[in-house]
Amino acid sequence: MRSQMIASLLALTLATPVLAANPDVGGAPMFETKNIVENAVNSADHTTLVAAVKAAGLVDALQGPGPFTVFAPVNDAFAALPAGTVETLLKPENKAMLTKILTAHVVAGDYTTADIMRRAKASKDGYFNMVTLSGDALSATVRGKNLYILDEMGNASKVTIADVKQSNGVIQVVNKVLLPR
C-alpha cells in the first residue's frame, strides 16, 4: 500500500508542469497573479516610476486588462536625467508631458524578450519596430546576447531583467528612460 502511495505521488509530481518563477525585481517577488501596478509598487528599484505613474494619473490604465508590455526604467535611469528633470515633470502643470513620456514606455501586447529578439533578428535591418501607447516609436535590436530598446532620440536602453510576467502583461526592466521626440 505504501509503495502504491509513493508511486502515485511520484506520478502526480512528474505530471505537474513546472513553471519558471518570475525574477525578483528591486528586492521584491513579482507575482503573475498581480497586475503591473500591484507588482511595481513593491520594487525598491521603481519608486520613481511608481511616483510618476501616480502623478500622471495612469494607475487605472496600467491596472486595466491589457495586455501591456512595459519597459520599466529603474530609479538610476531617472537619476541619470539632467538635474531637476524628474522634479519638473512631477509638477501638476507638466502632467501632459509626463504622461507622454510614461506612455512612450508601454506597448500594447504581451512581448517576451525571446519574441522581440526573434522579430529583430528576422528583420532585414535587425530591428523590431513597435508603436507605444503615446503613438511614439520604439525599436528593439540585439547586441550579442543583450536586448536593447531604442527611443526616437536614438538612445539605447538595455533590458536588465527580462520577462517579469504580470496578470495583464509583462514588464521588461530597462536601465535608461526612453524619450519621445
- Domain segments of the chain: what residues? 31-174
Rounded Cα distance between 157 and 6, Å, is 51
Mean pLDDT of the chain: 87
Residue 91 has what pLDDT?
A: 93
Segment 54-69 mean pLDDT: 90
* pLDDT the model gives residue 21: 77
Write out the E strands in the chain.
Answer: 68-73, 106-108, 128-131, 137-143, 146-150, 156-166, 169-174
pLDDT of residue 135: 95
Question: What is the pLDDT, as a whole number, of residue 8?
Answer: 46
Fold held by 31-174:
FAS1 domain (2.30.180)
What's this model's pTM, rounded to 2 decimal places? 0.86
